[in-house]
Amino acid sequence: MCGISGYISLSGQQNIEQADMFAMNRAIAHRGPDAEGYHFDQGLGFGHRRLSIIDVSSGQQPMHSDDQDITIVFNGEIYNYLDINKDLTSLGHTFNTKSDTETIIRAYQQWGIDCLSRLNGMFAFALWDKQKQHMLIARDRIGEKPLYYSKVDEDTFIFGSELKALKQHPKFTKALNYEAIEDFMTFGYIPEPKSLFVGTQKLQSGHYLLIKTGASSSIVDKKYWDLPTQGTFDKRPEPKEIIEKLKAATDIRMMSEVPLGAFLSGGVDSSAIVALMANLQTEPVNTVAIGFDLPEVNESHFAQLVADRYNTRHHLEIVDHESFDIIDRLADIYDEPFADSSALPTFKVCEAAKKIVTVCLSGDGGDEIFVGYRRYRLHKAESAVRSVLPHWMRKAIFSPLAAIYPKLDWAPRFLRAKTSFQSLSMENWEAYLNSISKMRSNERNKLYSTCFKNKIKGYSSKQVFADLLKDKHFDDPIKEAQYLDFKTWMPNDILTKVDRASMANSLEVRVPMLDHHFVEWAFQIDTDNSLIDKNGKANLKKGLEPLLSDENLYREKMGFSIPLSKWLRGPLKERLLASLTNPVLASFDLFEHTQLQRLYDDHLSGRSDNADALWMVMVLSDVLNKEYGSDAAQANAPLGVS
């Protein structure tokens, strides 16, 4: 696991300033504290930070081919590299190292860009082909490893694992992308390919860039992988088959030359991974959990059940539920506004894990693959209503009801009908967006200032989903929702959260359930095979019954959360107010002051639960303050609107 950075002259003529490359690479030193390396050539600079996991003694980067024509910097792990090596050896290749980095070089030599189809892993890499004078930059299929890039002038292209690397380049500009702010206020993160800044993008998961240099330079962005989007999605596997395939995906992620363990929350997915690991190795599994000194958010008891059953080397840390020290670091860790409050406990569990291991396996992905979220069940029920009433009728009936029905945050769930009325008046995909939005469109429009509305010129975050579904059709609304989650929520929230929290602690995290072969297969399972009555992940749980107790499998899902609403009414009240009234935030004129004040007052009084909205504004304020300080004019120069 590593960090990569670099830049290239598109003409091939520009001299590379080595000091700039050093600054870019050292800005992400936390991603690889074990070593740093550089490569410079005419018009090219590569930087690498290394966290040694495999072939510790001889896997240094940048790495070159034998003839020095190919150079690579690589972040990630290729889990099937030994199998690829066998194929390449049979084709006449010989290997100088035991590193998966060399595997990519030789696979590219043999198959060119088509080598991507053979790689099973998490990765972001940049590969320079000196003979062809082009650079290949690729990102893994699901989006486990990040990659940012920017063309900072007509001749200069830069890239890095994190935004903080790009910001070290003297030509990097921080013109604020106002459309990205609308997306953030909808999702709680900025979805790829956008970033906080105009002209800077995230390479989308399952995509590659081919950058040709010289007189006719070009940059081509191409998708090389996608989830299955056609077919009947009618697989109905036996529970045992699910477990066998997951076991295989877990097995290939256990190769390591450094201490390895697993996160263990006591929920279905993390417990499944630990159980499978225990059956795949003779030594006790190293497991890591955190608990809170607040019973309603503490699930450490359920983790202990699994630890006792499999006699793991269990490491539990109890965290003060009012431990706020990490909040002030969020803007530095994530670079962009990121409002998933579970980033705090995720950082804490990564911090705890680093004390005993260097690699951790995680159970992320189970809810998205096997229909585990409550929101899928609600979406299915609402979609059934939409299927029997034409759109014009639903709009005529439910839109007026949504407009007049109050927002009853304090009421039992069955009385909170405002969102359901809104969703029933919409098409399936729009309704799903409405249900997952941190703030619904009517709430955002009420909060936004006239100035901000003018800057985004009618742009709506609906465009994110509309673009993803272009030329695609799903008969099953749940499959459509899962697809959208895999393209937005998974890479931009779940995997971003884990990558930054783990890398900030120099820890590698591997996710067996996101093995792309497993995902491709499981995505074609009939929804009714996973969602039976109100029981999500039904057949996954059935398959795990011989391995885990009912108390782990069938308890109410708690989630990895913090008491955010209480925090913002109590110990974080002054911190929140300081962010909301920060002069830097005010200088951007994004929000109507009276509406922001109303959100704050209503939340503190208990009249409404506005925690999500207030937390997002607080996070955004902190990032803007960090990036612009007192000089908000930078945001609008030269192109402050995307």
Give catalytic residue positions: 2
Distance CA 81, CA 86 (A): 9
Query: Is residue 283 within 8 Å of 373, Cβ to Cβ?
Result: no
Nearest by Cα to 342 from 231, 244, 263: 263
Distance CA 529, CA 475 (A): 16
Burial 37-63 (b: 16+ CB within 10 A, else e): bbbeeebbbbbbbbbbbbeeeebbbbb
The phi, psi pair for 129, rounded to 5°, reads -105, 105
How many Cα atoms sit within 13 Å of 300 on the Cβ side?
17
Query: Is residue 382 within 8 Å of 389, Cβ to Cβ?
Result: no
Distance CA 43, CA 21 (A): 12
Distance CA 434, CA 386 (A): 15
E strand segments, 186-323:
200-202, 207-212, 218-223, 260-263, 286-292, 313-319
Query: Is residue 434 within 8 Å of 422, Cβ to Cβ?
Result: yes
Q: How many beta carbons lie within 10 A of that of residue 576, not counting itself? A: 21
Peptide bond into 638 cis (omega under 30): yes
E strand segments, 505-553:
508-510
Q: Is the dihedral of CA 579, 582, 588, 593 positive or negative?
A: positive
Query: Is residue 158 within 8 Å of 31, Cβ to Cβ?
Result: no
- The tokens 């929920």 sit on which residue? 267
Query: Is residue 362 within 8 Å of 520, Cβ to Cβ?
Result: no
Question: CB under 8 Å to 230, separation ≥6 — which residues?
Answer: none
Distances (CA, A) of 570 to 503, 574, 594: 31, 8, 22
Q: Is the dihedral of CA 24, 29, 32, 37 positive or negative?
A: positive
